[in-house]
Chains A and B, each alone.
Chain A
Amino acid sequence: MIKNFLEIIGEYFIFLGKVFTKPSKISEFSRKLVDEMNAMGIGSLLIVCIVAVCMGSVITTQTALQMESPWIPRWTLGFTVRTSVVMELCPTIITLLLVGNLGSRITSEIGSMRVTEQIDALEVMGINSASYLVLPKIVSAVIVIPMLIIISIFFALIGGYITVIITHVSSPYEYLDGLTAFFRMYDLVYVLTKTTIFAFILSSVAAFYGYRIEGGALELGKANVNGIVVSSFIILVLNLVITSIML
């Protein structure tokens, strides 16, 4: 089992070596990059916004329920919601959502190209298939996913604000006051660092599992599941490591 695990790690790094080579046609790479950014960004925007609003709303309600003591300042609600949403919930939960959405799309797309010999066709033409297919996806994910996380943070805080207005658990002024209290720019650096690393893991692991498929539809399904499970696991472990290092 350990041998198998080490073999997969080795394969993954060899795969990354093939991916990170100079694209044979920069114009074609740019075109694919724009297509990927469009598909990843626009394609995931709605679901990310909806989930973020719901998450912000729920965290606001739950936090408010824990703060019934008159000794706790009222702005604490906004402060706690902001800290939870910015530091942990949006970067991690939304990335895990994107693992299911974007990650499985990447695995399926590349895997079905492998199964239907389209990757072999690229190789026969003398094209580095790993670089041609995967590099635009990884670069796109690294650019787009942090943007999506920032947007999701914004919508989660709006979700909290809407909840405050509807349920009167706090006044909107106190909520907004809490959102801006003790804000550190470093928190944003931490979030962007974390999500950039998560985006790289998400896209490269998903592509790796799609690229190494041998067989047919059954293996494609297995690769999809493995890609999601492995990248989710790595993201959660890295979350712990990055948090320990940066905070």
Chain B
Amino acid sequence: MIELKNVSKYFGERQVLKNINTEFVQGKVNLIIGRSGSGKTVMVKNLIGLLSPEEGEILYNGRNFNLFTDKEKQEIRSEMGMVFQGSALFDSMTIEENVMFPLTMLTSQSYSEKIDRVNFCLERVDLKGFNNLYPAELSGGMMKRAAIARAIACNPKYLFCDEPNSGLDPKTSLLIDELIYEITHEFDITTVVNTHDMNSVITIGETISFIYEGTLAWRGNKDNVLTSDNEKLNGFIFAQPLTQRIRELS
């Protein structure tokens, strides 16, 4: 489990995260939702240690991440997988080399063990046979799936996804959501997904933290997100004409 206690983050004078208190549960898909610029990505970057909060604590199973020694940080990072918004695959490497990279750098497995694991991960994300292609030769959805394969290669305990559906068509988005959901439950991972995709919210949001202008404005799950009377949340959820129409019809 990951807990945030009174987390605040500043960029110069500007406060981007304001006293955030929330938690992300093990074995569940935990969504962070909010408008662009609300502080979602900053929150995820604080969670994975790319940024440090000025105030508050980020607790991994009760231990404060910011008080970890460099070695402890390195250890816990080897238990993390991250899917970046732009996939962040290494463009000079093939898909196979990309997925194998964390295994090479973080484990002492033999080549045959690594290649078995790579093939398993690629098969799991439905990219079997694409081993020797380069990222530039893949579609956006395939790149996201390859990034997921790389993220799960080292059997992570924590999986972070920064807007995994951005730039994808609705059908591919659903496939990515399903994949994240299945992997989370299959490997009992604490998954944190940063999104503003409404399909993701109502299909895989087992816990949902809604961030509004840097504050945690609402916390719930996919079952009560559509029936909440929180005005800020409703302003976000029902912003599109399509969702407004659905609300009127229901």
A residues sitting closer than 8 Å to B (CB atoms) are: 24-25, 28, 113, 116-118, 120-121, 123-127
Would you give the shortest CB distance from A43 to chain B, in whole angstroms?
Answer: 14
A126/B50 contact (C-beta < 8 A), A117-B86, A118-B88 known: no
The answer on a CB contact under 8 Å between A126 and B73 is: yes
Question: In the complex, which of the residues B86, B89, B105, B106 has the most CB atoms of chain A within 10 Å of its own CB atom?
Answer: B105
Residues 75-103 (chain B) with a chain A CB within 8 angstroms: 75, 77-78, 80, 82, 84-86, 88-91, 101-102
CB pair B104 A126 closer than 8 Å: no
Question: A116-B88, A126-B106 are contacts. A121–B82 as well, Cβ < 8 Å?
Answer: yes
A–B complex contacts, Cβ < 8 Å, 25 sampled:
A25-B104, A116-B91, A117-B84, A117-B86, A118-B88, A118-B91, A120-B50, A120-B82, A120-B88, A121-B84, A121-B90, A124-B50, A124-B77, A124-B82, A124-B160, A125-B77, A125-B78, A125-B101, A125-B102, A126-B73, A126-B74, A126-B75, A126-B77, A126-B78, A126-B106
User: In the complex, A127 Cα to B150 Cα: how many Å?
Assistant: 15
Cβ–Cβ contact A127 & B105, under 8 A: yes
Q: Which residue of chain B is the closest to A128 with respect to CB atoms?
A: B74
Tell me whether B32 is interfacial, beta carbon within 8 Å: no
Known contacts A28-B105, A124-B50, A125-B102; decide if A118 and B90 are in contact (CB<8 Å).
Answer: yes
Residue B58 interfacial (CB < 8 Å) = no
What is the CA–CA distance of A124 and B82 in the complex, to the nearest angstrom?
7
Query: B93 → chain A, closest Cβ, in Å?
Result: 10
Nearest 6 A/B pairs, CB to CB: A126-B77, A117-B88, A126-B74, A121-B88, A124-B82, A117-B84
